C-alpha cells in the first residue's frame, strides 16, 4: 500500500509541477487524476507480458507529456508562446549552442549529458515503481482499497473531462496536454499545406527599386530591441536619453531621421525569423515556415536590390557554424563570425561587440559601389554581460584587441541570472549600448546617398517585458537625403528617434517593409514621380 501511495504521489508531482512553472501558480493544480488511475490500475494487473508492455506504453506516454509540459513552460518563459512539437523540436540544437556560448563547450556537453541521464533515470524509476514484484487482488483488503481509489479517481476524471470539477485544484494534465499537442499537430499540418499553396499561388515577384538605384541601403537589426525598451518605465529612462542624444547628434551632421513601430513575428529569440520576415515580405513566425520559404526559392529583398544594381552583403557575427541559409538567400557576400578577423575576446555568447562589427563593416565590407547590406548585431543578446562602453575614438578599435579588458568585466551570467532585477538592469544597459553604437555609426556611415534602416529584431523574453507586452519593435530610418524619408512619413513614421507609442498593439507588420519599399521606390513609384 505504501508503494502504491508513493508511486501515485510521484506521478502526481511529475504531472503538476511543470504546470506550476508554466502558469506561475504553485499548488494549482494540485491533483492529477491520471496519476491515481494509472498507479492503481497497473497495481491490479497480474504479472506477465501484458503488464510489462502496458507499463512501457504508459511510461512512454507520461514521459512525453511531462517533457511537453516542461518544454511548454520553457518556451513560454523564453518566447512568450506555447510549445508546438510539430515546429519546435529543431530548437533543441539552438539550446545547446546557447549553452556553449554562455558556459563553454565542456560544461554545455556535461549539462546535456546530465539532462539525458536525468531523463533515463526518471524513466527507469517510473518503470520500477509501476512493476513491483507483488500485485494486488480484490481478495486482499489493500487491493480493495486501491480499486476503490482508482474508481473514485476515474469518476472524478470523467467528470473533469466533461467540464464538471467537483474537487478544487484538480485537473487532467496528461489528457489535456495530449489533446492540445495533437490539435496543434493537425492544425499546423493544415497550415503548412496552406502556406505551401500560398507560396506557389501568390508569389512576391522580385522587382528593381529604381528609387534606390545607386544608393547604399543598410538594413541593421538591433538584438532584443523591443518597444518595451522605450515605453516601459523600468527601462525607458536611460534609453530615451540615448535616443534624444542620437537625434541631436544626427541633426548636427545634417542627417534626418524618422521613426515608427513594426510588429515582429516572434518574441524572446529566433532572430532569424524576423530577418526572414523582413527580407521575404512573408510572415515567418516559425522554423517550418522559414525552411519552406527558403526551399521554395521565394524572392526576397536580396533579389530586389540585385535587380536594382546593388551588390548584396550580409554581416552575421553570431553565425559560427555552416550557414546554408545565406547561400539560399543569394547574398553576393556573406561575412559570418569566421570571416571577420576579430582578435579580441568573445564576451560569453557574444562573439564580438557591435562597435567592432560596425567599424569593420564600414572599413572593409561596404566598399565604394552601391550595396544592400543586412547586418545583425548581437551585443544586446542574453545573457547581457559584460556591458561595454562606446569608444569615442573609433580609430582605436582596429582588430578588436582593445576589448580584451572587458572579457571578464562584471559578474558572469551564472551570478547575474540569480537575481531577476539584475537581469533586467543588464538588459537595459545592453540595449542602450547597441542603440547608442548604432547611432554613432550612423553619424559616420550615412550621407545623402545612404538609407539606414535600424530596427529591433524582436521583444525580449516575457521575463523582461511581462506576459502582455506588445510584440512591436522600434524602427529608425536615417538618411542625409530627406526625400528618401518622405515615403515613410506617409506610412505614419514621425520625425525624430522616438516613435509614436500610443497604439503599439496596432502597428504594421514587419513583413510590410518589403512591400513598402517595392511600392514607394519601385518602378510604379518612379513613374508617378516623373509624371507632370
Model confidence over 6-60: pLDDT tens digits? Answer: 888 888 888 888 888 888 778 788 888 888 888 877 777 777 777 788 888 888 8
Return d(Cα 410, Cα 472) in angstroms, integer: 31
CA distances to 64, 89, 321, 438 from 324, rounded to whole Å, are 32, 19, 10, 28
Got the DSSP string for 339-390?
A: GS---S--BTTBSS-HHHHHHHIIIIIS-SS-EEEEEE--TTSTT--SPPPP
214 vs 5: which has the higher pLDDT: 214
How confident is the model over 477-497, as a mean pLDDT?
Answer: 95
* 3-state DSSP assignment of residue 312: strand
Assigned C-alpha cell, 263:
510588429
pLDDT of residue 527: 59
Chain mean position to CA 207: 30
**Closest to 40 measured CA to CA, from 121, 138, 133:** 138
pLDDT tens figures, 239-277: 999 999 999 999 999 999 999 999 999 988 889 999 999
Which pLDDT band, with edges at 50, 70 and 90, does 94 fall under?
Answer: low
Report the pLDDT averaged over residues 168-189: 86
Please give the average per-residue pLDDT across 291-304, as a whole number. 86
Q: Could you give the CA distance from residue 123 to residue 128 in angstroms, rounded to a whole number?
A: 9
Q: Which three cell numbers stand for residue 417?
A: 541570472
- Picking from 361, 359, 314, the residue whose alpha carbon sits closest to that of residue 333 is 314
Cα 519 from Cα 203, distance rounded (Å): 16
Look-up of cell digits 525598451: 229
Q: What is the mean pLDDT of the chain?
A: 86
Look at residues 124, 131, 122, 125 and name the one whose alpha carbon lies nearest to residue 51.
Answer: 131
For residue 216, pLDDT over 70 is answered with yes
| pLDDT score of 331 | 93
Cell output for 335: 561575412
CA distance 222 to 435: 7
Q: Is the pLDDT of residue 296 over 60?
A: yes
pLDDT value of residue 519 = 93
Cβ contact 359:394 at 8 Å:
yes
Q: Tell me the percentage of the chain whose pLDDT exceeds 90.
A: 42
With beta carbons less than 8 A apart as the criterion, state whether 526 and 210 touch: yes
Q: How far apart are alpha carbons 435 and 20 in whole angstroms?
A: 37
d(CA 272, CA 195): 19
pLDDT digits (tens, 9 = 90+) for 421-434: 999 999 999 999 99
Residues 194-206 have pLDDT tens digits of: 777 777 777 788 8
Torsion-angle region of 439 (φ positive above 0: left; ψ -120 to 50: alpha; else: beta): alpha
Q: Does residue 285 or residue 95 have the better pLDDT?
A: 285
Q: State how far the Cα of 449 lies from the Cα of 441, in Å rounded to an integer.
A: 15
In this structure, of 189-198, 340-349, 428-437, the range with the lowest mean pLDDT score is: 189-198
* The three grid cell numbers given for residue 363, joined into one nine-digit string: 572599413
Strands (E), 147-190: 170-171
Q: Select the highest-mean-pLDDT range: 12-16, 130-134, 287-291, 480-484.
A: 480-484
Nearest-angstrom CA–CA distance, 66 and 141: 33
The pLDDT assigned to 532 comes to 45
Closest CA to 303 of 200, 207, 202, 215: 207
CA neighbor of 487 nearest in space, from 209, 275, 207, 202? 209
Higher pLDDT pick, 146 / 348: 348
d(CA 487, CA 480): 15
Q: Are 196 and 292 in contact (CB under 8 A)?
A: yes
Average pLDDT over residues 331-346: 92
Whether 168 shows a pLDDT value over 50: the answer reads yes
Report how far residue 273's alpha carbon sits from residue 270's, in angstroms, rounded to the nearest whole number: 6
Amino acid at each position: 500500500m505504501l508503494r502504491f501511495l508513493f508511486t501515485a504521489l510521484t506521478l502526481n508531482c511529475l504531472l503538476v509541477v511543470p504546470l506550476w512553472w508554466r502558469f506561475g501558480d504553485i499548488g494549482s493544480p494540485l491533483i492529477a487524476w491520471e496519476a491515481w488511475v494509472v498507479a492503481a490500475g497497473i497495481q491490479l494487473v497480474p504479472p506477465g507480458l501484458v503488464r510489462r508492455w502496458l507499463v512501457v506504453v504508459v511510461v512512454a506516454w507520461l514521459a512525453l507529456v511531462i517533457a511537453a509540459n516542461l518544454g511548454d513552460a520553457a518556451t513560454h518563459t523564453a518566447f512568450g508562446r506555447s510549445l508546438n512539437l510539430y515546429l519546435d523540436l529543431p530548437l533543441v540544437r539552438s539550446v545547446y549552442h546557447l549553452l556553449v556560448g554562455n558556459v563553454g563547450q565542456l560544461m554545455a556537453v556535461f549539462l546535456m549529458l546530465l539532462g539525458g541521464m536525468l531523463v533515463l533515470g526518471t524513466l527507469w524509476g517510473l518503470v520500477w515503481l509501476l512493476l513491483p514484484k507483488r500485485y494486488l487482488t480484490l481478495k486482499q483488503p489493500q487491493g480493495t482499497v486501491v480499486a476503490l481509489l482508482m474508481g473514485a479517481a476515474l469518476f472524478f476524471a470523467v467528470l473533469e473531462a466533461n467540464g464538471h470539477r467537483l474537487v478544487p485544484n484538480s485537473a487532467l494534465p496528461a489528457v489535456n496536454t495530449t489533446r492540445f499537442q495533437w490539435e496543434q499537430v493537425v492544425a499546423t499540418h493544415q497550415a503548412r499545406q496552406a502556406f505551401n499553396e500560398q507560396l506557389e499561388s501568390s508569389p512576391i515577384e522580385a522587382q528593381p527599386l529604381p528609387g534606390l538605384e545607386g544608393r547604399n541601403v543598410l538594413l541593421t537589426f538591433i538584438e532584443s530591441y523591443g518597444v518595451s525598451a522605450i515605453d516601459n518605465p523600468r527601462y525607458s529612462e536611460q534609453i530615451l536619453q540615448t535616443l534624444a542624444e542620437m537625434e541631436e547628434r544626427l541633426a548636427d551632421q545634417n542627417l534626418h531621421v524618422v521613426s515608427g513601430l513594426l510588429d515582429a513575428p516572434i518574441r524572446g529569440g529566433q532572430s532569424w525569423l524576423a530577418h526572414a520576415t523582413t527580407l521575404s515580405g512573408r510572415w515567418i513566425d516559425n522554423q517550418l515556415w522559414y525552411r519552406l520559404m527558403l526551399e521554395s526559392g521565394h524572392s526576397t529583398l536580396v533579389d530586389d536590390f540585385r535587380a536594382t544594381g546593388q551588390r548584396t552583403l550580409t554581416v552575421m557575427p553570431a553565425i559560427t557554424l555552416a550557414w546554408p541559409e545565406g547561400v539560399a538567400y543569394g547574398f553576393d557576400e556573406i561575412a559570418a563570425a569566421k570571416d571577420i578577423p576579430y582578435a579580441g575576446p568573445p564576451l560569453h555568447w557574444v562573439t564580438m561587440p557591435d562597435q567592432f562589427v560596425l567599424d569593420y563593416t564600414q572599413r572593409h565590407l561596404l566598399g565604394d559601389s552601391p550595396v544592400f547590406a543586412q547586418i545583425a548585431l548581437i551585443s544586446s543578446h542574453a545573457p547581457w554581460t559584460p556591458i561595454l562602453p562606446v569608444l569615442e575614438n573609433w580609430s582605436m578599435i582596429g582588430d578588436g584587441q582593445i576589448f580584451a579588458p572587458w572579457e571578464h568585466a562584471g559578474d558572469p551570467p551564472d551570478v547575474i541570472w540569480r537575481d531577476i532585477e539584475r537581469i533586467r538592469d543588464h538588459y537595459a544597459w545592453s540595449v542602450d549600448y547597441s542603440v547608442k553604437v548604432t547611432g554613432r555609426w550612423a553619424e559616420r556611415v550615412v550621407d545623402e546617398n545612404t538609407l539606414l534602416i535600424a530596427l529591433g529584431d524582436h521583444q525580449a523574453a516575457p521575463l523582461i517585458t511581462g506576459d502582455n507586452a506588445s510584440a512591436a519593435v522600434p524602427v529608425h530610418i536615417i538618411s542625409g537625403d530627406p526625400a528618401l524619408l518622405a515615403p515613410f512619413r506617409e506610412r505614419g513614421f514621425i520625425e525624430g528617434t522616438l516613435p509614436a507609442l500610443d497604439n503599439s498593439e496596432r502597428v504594421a507588420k514587419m513583413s510590410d517593409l518589403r512591400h513598402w519599399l517595392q511600392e514607394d521606390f519601385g518602378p510604379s513609384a518612379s513613374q508617378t514621380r516623373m509624371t507632370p
